[in-house]
Amino acid sequence: MKTKKSMMSAAIVQNAVKESFLKLDPRVMMRNPIMFVVEIGFIITLLLILVPDLFGGTVSRGYNLVVTLVLLFTLLFANFAEALAEGRGKAQADTLKKTKQDIKANKVTGNNSVKQVSSSELRKGDIVVVAQGEVIPGDGEVIEGLASVDESAITGESAPVIKEAGGDFSSVTGGTRVVSDQIKVRITSDPGESFLDRMISLVEGAKRQKTPNEIALNTVLTSLTLIFLFVVVTLPFFGNYLNVSLEIPILIALLVCLIPTTIGGLLSAIGIAGMDRVTQFNVLAMSGKAVEAAGDINTVILDKTGTITYGNRMASEFIPAGGHQLAEVAEWAAISSLKDETPEGRSVLALMKKQSLTYNEGLGDNAEFIEFKAETRMSGMDLKDGRYVRKGAVDAVKKWVQSQGGTIPSDLDEGSTRIAKAGGTPLAVAVDNEIYGLIYLKDTVKPGMKERFEQMRQMGIKTIMCTGDNPLTAATIALEAGVDDFIAESKPEDKIAVIRREQAEGKLVAMTGDGTNDAPALAQADVGIAMNSGTVAAKEAANMVDLDSDPSKIIEVVAIGKQLLMTRGALTTFSIANDIAKYFAIIPAMFMVAIPQMDTLNIMRLGSPSSAILSALIFNAIIIPLLIPLAMKGVGYKPMSSPQLLKRNLFIYGLGGVLVPFLGIKLIDLVVHLWV
């Protein structure tokens, strides 16, 4: 999916041409009222060719034929634009379908034996074992083990990623391949509901719904069409009064020229292409509404771990406190981590081994493991001899110890401050009512984050980092990353609270995250972007999934959202400006015979009423394919204020939309007038 497909590849163009004719079906055309009116006009002029005396007109069959052909090509060009946009999505879907295959899965049965079944037989909750070289049979979460997984079929990245039980990197996608080690996976989706199935459906455009802005604009354009239809229907009465003959083919040509056919023919293609551009950046948008909303974002909420930083916080040092020895704090840190399957927990045991430190592993026998929770911010073990071992956030452990009547070592805060100032995360280790020391967890800010956040600032977007770390660590990371604000020691409800606070001020909020605890906030945000490396819960709550797991990509998503809105606005402006120019071309030419004074308005000096209308109709048709590349690629976006963007686009597309038809219609008229 990472590879960008050419917009004009032979296969896509060939299929788009075929679809252009198939879309002439009136049942399909009715979805676009503007182009449906054009099709009705085409049918009427076609009937006039077959039955010239149908309405008793005097317009030549040759003139009718030209009008009919121009109307046909107007329809085909509009259909081609939509089919071309859809074709790129279908080409991506075909690539993904090759990834999807029915494979054999090693399902764990009730008696812990392994039975080989088809992947199509797997259901949510089933557990499978996937070894080196095997394909993961369905979406799931790693519940045991650690392995390198090749996700190139989904993300386009050749480098394998580490997937492990616990933490925020446990989610695996069906169709990816294990390249080392072995993992046990709990299936989280039923057949037909997998992430790959959703990707195929979305990039095909099968579930694309019109966005609120698109519906509103479509309503305005339809209203304009009805107004001009009424105007054209009443024109013959004025013509009769002025002794000007306005026959059916001329009225149809006039109507098609006056209604906003340009934007009407390109509107659907603009929306489809907008979602396609997001996909080209390896972001899967669940709806066009999310892409549009991204263009209006005011605030971005970012999770620190795994988003701003790499997220692989590893134990790098044991720091004693309260007069205890290094071996003591290391031993209790290890015992608290015996059943901790998170990367941090395993890194504690790895550090013990690296430093050749020992501990009594037997203490973990029959002990109860206490999982980490966002509310308590601690984990540990309740030993069978009655002792309680805990490790976690320093303030949380301090409160826990004090609640049991213990005291806080005088040098504890000094050690935690030193770790926090270095940008690390301190974890306190305690047994019952006594704190033994600290674990120094080291994390690293991803390169280039500061520059990326500066770009957001130029767009007028505020960045807020949320983290469970203490205020000092949070402040250090925030300064290094360059975010505008931060919230330390945040719980899931704190993230939701800050999102609601921003939304209450009338702002649109985007949230990026990868953990299960991020899911509620991702659902609350106007635009929720989950990392593909994150948990299933996060991806299900979000309305976008970043396949590259690069949180800074929100910049591209926002730019594409703005580009989508700008493209629609620019082409609407151009289309309406076109109509203004066409009024000056057609109306004076039509009535200057009966009203000589109107010749003053014939500033283009068009040859005759017939050639003026036909020239405007031809221009109206050929402008659609000329604008297709712009609709597909989008209007170029540069970070600047909204008033500056408005002035720039009004000058280019407003003024250009008036001048281009004058020139185009005049050139066409020089040729058409010779024939008419």
Cα(145)–Cα(165) distance, rounded to whole angstroms?
6
Among all chains, which residue has been given the structure tokens 């927990």?
A: 345
Report the distance separating Cα 676 and Cα 667, nearest Å.
15
Q: Which of 126, 150, 276, 303 is catalytic?
A: 303
Cβ-contact 526, 510 below 8 angstroms: yes
Do the annotations mark residue 356 as ligand-binding? no
Is 377 labelled a binding residue?
yes
Gyration radius (Cα) of the chain, Å: 33
CB 632 within 8 A of CB 563: no
d(CA 402, CA 63): 95
Phi-psi domain of 9 (left: phi exceeds 0; alpha: psi -120 through 50; beta: other)? beta
**Is 669 assigned a catalytic role?**
no
> CB neighbours (10 Å) of residue 575?
25
Q: Is 36 annotated as a binding residue?
A: no
Q: Could you count the other beta carbons within 10 Å of the beta carbon of residue 123?
A: 11
- Cα–Cα–Cα angle for 634, 637, 640, nearest 5°? 155
518 labelled ligand-binding: yes
Residue 599 marked in a binding site: no
Torsion of CA 345, 350, 355, 360, to 10 degrees: 70
- 3-state SS track over 24-55: CCHHHHCCCHHHHHHHHHHHHHHHHHHCCCCC
**Binding residue per annotation — 570?**
no
Give the span between the Cα atoms of 26 and 32, in whole angstroms. 10
Check whether 376 is labelled as a binding-site residue: yes
Instruction: Give Cα separations from 589 to 62, 194, 229, 423 (angstroms).
Output: 21, 61, 20, 75
d(CA 454, CA 461) in angstroms, rounded, equals 9
Local structure of 132: helix, strand or coil: coil
Residues within the annotated binding site for ATP?
340, 344, 372-379, 391
Catalytic residues: 303
Residues within the annotated binding site for Mg(2+)?
514, 518
Residues within the annotated binding site?
340, 344, 372-379, 391, 514, 518
